[in-house]
Structure 1
Amino acid sequence: MASLAWLLIPLLAAVGAGLWGSWAARNRKSGRTGDATELNGYAAFREAMEKSRGATERPRESVRPDESAELHESGLHEIDEIQKRHVVMEESSTGT
């Protein structure tokens, strides 16, 4: 009798899962769900993000190619200087 009770548990779970699946897959007529509503919400989100980004960031087209190369070179020089200072600090701390 106890084994029948244990077999009843998965059977009830399967019936419950079937009922929930049919309820979740039902055709809703409220109009609150669907691709059109989600796409409209996403479009509004993108528009808001573009407005906020436009106020804080300059467009990439305004950077001159030669300016970009100059910035890259100056950045490399700064990295070299930092690495040299780091090596000097390590040598002075170890006493070599």
Structure 2
Amino acid sequence: MVNLLISQFSAIARRSLGPGSEVGMGALIWLLIPLVAAVAAGLWGSWANRTRKVRSDGPELDGYARFRAAMEKSHSGT
């Protein structure tokens, strides 16, 4: 798919810039692919490293305390 896009762009460049420019334009397009990937990686990295709302451990610790208390109760009749 990338080759198809590059060949289409090269055909447009050939018509507009004249013969002999397709080699240079093809090289520029192949250099744009890592550039776009680097920009996308930077955007993803900044999104993944964003500051998130701090949440306390209160509800989890309260649930664990209730679980422990329930397990420590002695069950008679069994």
Normalised by the length of structure 1, the TM-score is 0.35
Q: Flag the structure with more relative contact order, 1 or 2, with Cα contacts below 8 A and sequence separation at least 6.
A: 2
TM-score of the superposed pair, with normalisation by structure 2: 0.40
Higher helix share: 1
Of structures 1 and 2, the larger Rg is shown by 1
